[in-house]
Amino acid sequence: MSRDPRYDVLFESVRIGPVVSKNRFFQVPHCNGMGYRDPSALATMRAVKAQGGWGVVCSEQAEIHPSAEICPFIELRVWSDQDVPMLARIADSIHEYDALAGLQLCHNGMNAPNLYSREIPMGPADLPVFSVFNDPVQARAMDKQDIRNLRKWHRDAALRAKRAGYDIVYVYAGKLFGGPMFFLSRRFNDRTDEYGGSLENRARLLKELIEDVKDAVGDSLGVGCRISMDEMIGEEGFHAAEARDVIAHLGEAPDLWDLTLSSWDNDSQTSRFADEAYQEPFVLGVKQLTTKPVVGVGRFTSPDTMVRMIRQGVLDFIGAARPSIADPFLPEKIREGRMEDIRECIGCNICVSGDHTASIVRCTQNPAMGEEWRRGWHPEYIRPKESDSRVLIVGAGPCGLEAAMMLGRRGYNVALADRGKALGGRLVQERRLPGLSAWGRVVDYRAGQLAAMPNVEIFYDSDLTAEDMLEFGFNHVVLATGAVWRRDTVSRNMLHAASLMDAEVLTPDDIMAGKRPAARDVLLYDDDHYYMGGVLAELLAGEGFAVTLVTPAAEASSWTHNTMEQHRIQARLIECGVTIRAHRTLQKAAGGRATLACTFTGRAEEVPCGAIVLVTARLPRNRLAQSLRDKSAHWQEAGLHSVTVIGDALAPGTIAAAVWSGRRYAEEFDTTPDPDALPFRREVAELLPFDLHAVLAR
Ligand code: ADP
Ligand code: SF4
């Protein structure tokens, strides 16, 4: 297949100081929850991006000194020469596939609570740290010696980056992560010396750091500056006009400008709240302020949008974090003209939750993300079949689709059957909910891939029974039959079913199937805490129902803090007129009234309620598995070797977990995993020489 020449512009080389990127695809720094804990897994993940054609592949933030570390979040460290081999492994792996390796040097300043190092954080002023958990830690105002030290630490870290083999280093002043941003922003910087006051003064530290790093390594490494274009809180924060003035002032100092929004929640907005290229208004015109190349992001997945960004002079590089996670081979697919193979990011921010929970990055669209080294999974390739087994997969939700696609890719004969008329399982309905249409890409990508596989047959309207399955003569039956929402209050905070008497009760399945409460007053009880409660409240409020969202949590959709959406969801619900009653459980309902109990005191209160929508928990749809197992005496004559339940039918979870489960089935098919072996590789840090008595001697 050949590429459409209009995309050629994306494959032009671009100079970044002394180094040259082979194309305009720039994987900007992104966190991943692996960092110093999982260096080989991280190196492999980055190498896959390079293999997939990104011209530049950057690290996440690499903390340059223990005076700024953001424990419990797991990032890279450049604290001493001890870190160089780990950093070198990452750079070397990226170089294996002909990409430039970038290291995002970072001193978090007063973003860092230093819970691990216990050093006192530093910033422009004596203020509480600006950290995720409102830690009871204050930063102290930096004096001139602190500034001299900080400049030296940046130089030292840049020299270590050079020794580790990197091509690009960053000075980071973005997203209220990079310490110099606190100097730029007036609301944090009340200094009266030459580092405070005028914009020139507030930008002085950033200018010095760029000059220092250039002086240290600029002869052979490109020096990038990452800066936020707006805090999005109006004039009080660092805003667009100021950002432009800083760039005009420092215009030629770095070799590259990397533009973001601040904070991270504004930079990486979900598809529920922002469309592709949402940062365009903030970066437009920056190129006129500097001759240096400019990289920007905006969940770019469409090659046409990318071309427009270049042709219209908005950007020089197409920056991507999430699109490179969802499809590490995005550049390669565009280069080869394989547009239909692009696995587009759905903008769900499950990837972000990996960093926020200090676990490992995961992706709804790309189940191999984070598993490249641990489990040997690749986003594009899978080993060929090892037998001529025929596989029946029942259920064409995210899990069944992924299992069918990957087994099909391995070359097996697969039948995918669903009782419905469309592919997608839960997503057939969920993609129609407010703000979730982009989630349909999970289905569309897989449906497109399956359509091109002659060895996978799809059967619709097939409500299969155990007898049917035994008749068909498949060697393996996989049940990806999903889950149903519970019709009672059993979930996290209450493990018993409240008495709801004569109340009209609906579940999310009912609402998604088109059923609506008879009454106008709706009590939506959310003990699930992810997106469903908030989305249904928004839907019903939009249709004119008077919705009260009751939740035992402190806020609506509280887990979405991990996807950086909670504040937007809560704001939207308030704007739609939804009443939010936090810290309440639903105890009972009768005669048009519900009794709620305070989660702290147990004190009860009565509220009117016409109908109740329960968003509590889900039950696996696994009856078919049981009836097949009941017939195990007939398996042999039917040629059936195994029956396996996967995805939501095994244990209901996120869409990402269902896709991952389908992938796991396809990966492990025709193997016999050892139940006593660890299911994945892990890296154990090397032990230092140890003299217990010397340490404990008085
Ligand atoms: P997952 O998230 O694990 O992929 P879903 O709930 O999204 O699960 O999808 C399950 C799919 O299985 C649904 O499309 C449902 O219609 C289908 N299904 C469930 N039971 C049967 C059955 N007995 N025969 C055929 N299809 C079934
Ligand atoms: Fe995109 Fe969601 Fe994957 Fe993140 S987890 S890269 S937002 S599809």
Ligand 1 pocket, Cβ-based, cut-off 6 angstroms: 394-400, 417-420, 425-426, 462-464, 480-483, 621, 624, 647-649, 658
Query: In angstroms, what CA-CA distances link 124 with 109, 114, 142, 263, 410?
Result: 9, 17, 6, 18, 57
Q: Which residues pair with 642 in a beta bridge?
A: 476
Give the type of residue at 469: M
**Per-residue pLDDT for 673 more than 90?**
no
| Ordered strands of the 579-581 beta sheet | 504-506, 611-615, 521-526, 546-550, 579-581
Q: Among all ligands shown, which has an atom nearest to the Cα of 565?
A: 2
Please compute the mean of the pLDDT values over residues 345-373 and round it to a whole number: 96
pLDDT tens for each residue of 575-590: 999 999 999 999 999 9
Among protein residues, the one whose CA lies closest to atom 1 of ligand 2: 345
The CB of 351 under 6 Å from ligand 2? The reply is yes
Q: Are strands 521-526 and 546-550 parallel, antiparallel or unpaired?
A: parallel
> 186 alpha carbon to ligand 2 midpoint, in Å?
34
Q: Could you tell me if the CB of 354 is within 6 A of ligand 2?
A: no
- The confidence score (pLDDT) of residue 341 equals 98
Q: Which residues contact 84 (CB under 8 A, 6 or more apart)?
A: 160, 163, 164
Residue 132 has a pLDDT of 87
307 lines ligand 2 (CB under 6 A): no
Provide the pLDDT for residue 438. 98
Cα dihedral 323, 327, 329, 332, rounded to 10, equals: -60
Asked if 370 and 41 count as a contact pair (C-beta separation under 8 A), the reply is yes
Strands in 456-459's sheet, in edge-to-edge order, are 456-459, 413-417, 390-394, 476-479, 642-645
What DSSP letter does each residue of 248-270 carry, written as one string?
A: HHHTTSSSEEEEE-SSHHHHT--
Q: Which ligand 2 atom is nearest residue 344's CA?
A: 8
Which atom, in ligand 2's list, is nearest to the CA of 271?
Answer: 7
Residue 2 pLDDT: 83
Strand, helix or coil for residue 171: strand
pLDDT at residue 416, rounded to an integer:
98
Mean pLDDT value across residues 343-371: 96
Let me know: does 654 contact 647? Beta carbons within 8 Å. no
Kindly give, in sequence order, each residue whose CB lies less than 8 Å from that of residue 415, ignoring residues fewer than 6 positions away: 390, 391, 392, 393, 456, 457, 458, 459, 472, 474
- The model's pLDDT over 318-341, given as tens digits with 9 standing for 90+, comes to 999 999 999 999 999 999 999 999
Give residue 385's pLDDT: 98
Closest ligand relative to 349 C-alpha: 2
Percentage, residues of the chain above pLDDT 70: 100
Distance 78 CA to ligand 2 centre (A): 28
State pLDDT tens for residues 223-253: 999 999 999 999 999 999 999 999 999 989 9
Q: How many CA atoms lie within 13 A of 302 on its CB side?
A: 9
**Confidence at residue 187, expressed as pLDDT on a 0 to 100 scale:** 95
Residue-wise pLDDT tens digits, 158-194:
999 999 999 999 999 999 999 999 999 999 999 999 9
Q: Are 548 and 579 in contact (CB under 8 A)?
A: yes
From the centroid of its chain, how far is CA 506?
A: 31
Give CA–CA dist 75/455, Å, rounded.
Answer: 43
H helix intervals, 218-263: 240-250
| 441 alpha carbon, closest ligand | 2
Residue 642, pLDDT > 80, answer yes
Ligand nearest to the CA of 424: 1
Residue 324 backbone dihedrals phi, psi, to 5 degrees: -80, -20
Q: How far is the CA of 419 from the centre of ligand 1 (A)?
A: 7
d(CA 171, CA 535): 39
CA of 322 from ligand 2 middle (Å) equals: 6
User: Ligand 2 centre and the CA of 530: distance in Å?
Assistant: 16
pLDDT at 698: 78
Distance in Å, CA 326 to ligand 2 centroid: 6
Ligand lying closest to the C-alpha of residue 426: 1
Q: How far is the CA of 656 from the centre of ligand 1 (A)?
A: 16
For residue range 468-498, list pLDDT tens digits in order: 999 999 999 999 999 999 999 999 999 999 9
Structure tokens at 299: 């969940």
Is the pLDDT assigned to residue 1 strictly greater than 80? no
Is the distance from CB of 346 to CB of 363 less than 8 angstroms?
Answer: no
* Binding site membership of 657 for ligand 2 (Cβ less than 6 Å): no
Q: What is the pLDDT of residues 433-469, one digit of tens each?
A: 999 999 999 999 999 999 999 999 999 999 999 999 9
Mean pLDDT estimate for the chain = 97
Can you give the length of the chain in residues? 698
Name residue 396's amino acid: A
CA of 397 to the centre of ligand 1 (A): 6
Of ligand 1's listed atoms, the one at least distance from the Cα of 399 is 4
Report the candidate in 667, 628, 633 with the shortest Cα–Cα distance to residue 645. 628
- The answer to whether the CB of 81 falls within 8 A of the CB of 123 is no
From 429, 446, 621, mutation site for ligand 1 pocket: most ligand atoms within 8 A of C-beta: 621
Q: Give backbone dihedrals phi and psi of 658, rounded to 5 degrees, phi first.
A: -70, -45
How far does residue 323's CA lie from ligand 2's centre (Å)?
Answer: 7
Mutate to test the pocket of ligand 2, among 28, 48, 325 (most ligand atoms within 8 A of CB): 325
Atom 3, ligand 2: which residue's CA is nearest? 363
Residue 556 pLDDT greater than 90, yes or no: yes
Domains of the chain: 5-356 (3.20.20.70), 390-482+621-668 (3.40.50.720), 486-617 (3.50.50.60)
Of the ranges 109-113, 199-203, 570-574, 684-688, which one carries the lowest mean pLDDT score? 684-688
Burial class (CB in 10 A: 0-12, 13-18, 19+), 302: middle
Query: What gap in Å lies between CA 661 and CA 663, rounded to an integer?
Result: 5
Q: What is the pLDDT of residue 400?
A: 98
For 328-397, give the secondary structure using H, E and C.
CCHHHHHHCCCHHHCCCCCCCCHHHHHHHCCCCCCCCCCCCCCCCCCCCCCCCCCCCCCCCCEEEEECCC
Q: Identify which ligand lies nearest to the alpha carbon of 624.
A: 1
The yes-or-no verdict on residue 281 having pLDDT over 90 is yes
Q: Tell me how far apart the alpha carbons of residues 87 and 358 are, in angstroms, rounded to a whole number.
A: 20
Q: How far is the CA of 395 from the centre of ligand 2 (A)?
A: 23
